[in-house]
Amino acid sequence: MSDEKIHISPYKSHIMVLLGLIVLTVITVLITSVEMGPYNTTAAMIIASIKGAIVLLYFMHLRFDQKIYGIMVAIVVAIFAAVIVVTFFDYLYR
Amino acid sequence: METITTHQHADLHRDDTAAKLGMWLFIFTEILLFGGLFIVYSVYRFKNPVAFELAHEELSITMGFINTIILLVSSATVAISITAMQKNDRKITLAMLGITLLLALVFLINKYFEWGGKFEHGMYPGSELMKNLSNGDMLFFSLYFFMTGLHGVHILIGMILLGITLVKVKTGAVNSGKYALLENSGLYWHLVDLIWIFLFPLFYLIH
């Protein structure tokens, strides 16, 4: 790995990522006023997850870094998701 | 990843990859800390859906929206400062770190007014008003104060980290051949942003 070149994200890509995140924020605010019943929360969480993924991949550089960091993040996210699922099975069916 | 250049040989035992790995491990503990709180929030919201929906109307979406944009921009400026460092452009690195610190301060000032408004109405943890709220309302506001408060503490810690980094960039201790501190402080700052991305819809945008 020692000869691997360091990836430098150009300024422009940071600006594009920022614009994308702002657009998603505006969408998530606007979507709140649309009546979708329980799907409003689902939509808000999906958009938040997309924004989170963008921050992790681009700002936190996971997409261009060594794979080990990304694998570790994926494991932590999977553990967290599993805990959520288990908790809600408990509360939904007790 | 490690590019060995002559001046790096002067620093024995330097391992940027390990430093970053350590930072990520720390970030995981932070994710699980807030993750646990998010689960507490979800369960209570699931049990008190109406109270949570009504209580959230006390919060200003505009204020939350502005703070979200502030944090997103500050995350971008940190990312730009790292790119600038890699391109050996110290001036831009310093400027971007300065802007980030300024934005962080504006975020906290907004929080001050937001919380201050609540306090003026007698709404703060442990107040008579809060003790007399219904169970669901009390849970919402307790979680609101606790989670945004804990996030605010993280903003402060992030500002200290970035401040130290800024000084070290100025003195040259952090430079284009050795900028692990900048990268790791940056990672911390992005984490603070990441947490807010989830706090914002959960507290301000309940429908």
Q: What is the overall mean pLDDT for chain B?
A: 93
User: What is the Cβ-side half-sphere exposure of residue B116, based on CA atoms within 13 angstroms?
Assistant: 7
Residue-wise pLDDT for B11-42, tens only, equals 568 899 999 999 999 999 999 999 999 999 99
State the Cα–Cα distance between residues B26 and B20, nearest whole angstrom. Answer: 10
Tokens 């959520």 belong to A84
- Averaged pLDDT, B136-141: 95
Q: Find which of B52, B205, B206 to mutate to test the A interface (most A CBs within 10 Å of its CB).
A: B205
**Is some CB atom of chain A closer than 8 A to the CB atom of B63?**
no
Q: Residue A11 corresponds to which tokens in the numbers above?
A: 């300024």
Instruction: Tell me, rounded to whole angstroms, the distance of Cα B24 from its chain centroid.
Output: 15
The DSSP bridge partners found for residue B178 are B175
Confidence check: pLDDT of B6 > 70: no
Q: Which domains does chain B have, with CATH numbers?
A: 18-204 (1.20.120.80)
The number of C-beta contacts closer than 8 angstroms across A and B is 118
pLDDT score recorded for residue B14? 86
pLDDT score recorded for residue A1? 39
ipTM: 0.92
Confidence check: pLDDT of B61 > 90: yes
Main-chain dihedrals φ then ψ at residue B155, nearest 5 degrees: -60, -45
State the Cα–Cα distance between residues B128 and A78, nearest whole angstrom. Answer: 41
Tokens 């006390």 belong to B58
Three-point CA angle B75, B76, B77, nearest 5°: 90
Instruction: Return the residue of A nearest to B195 by Cα.
Output: A52
pLDDT score recorded for residue B159? 98
pLDDT score recorded for residue A2? 40
Cβ-contact B143, B44 below 8 angstroms: yes
Residue-wise pLDDT for B70-91, tens only, equals 999 999 999 999 999 999 999 9
* pLDDT band, residue B105 (cuts 50/70/90): very high
Which chain B residues in 158-187 lie under 8 Å from chain A, judged by CB atoms? 187
- Averaged pLDDT, B149-172: 98
Main-chain dihedrals φ then ψ at residue A61, nearest 5 degrees: 70, 15
User: pTM, whole model, 2 decimals?
Assistant: 0.92
Burial class (CB in 10 A: 0-12, 13-18, 19+), B178: middle
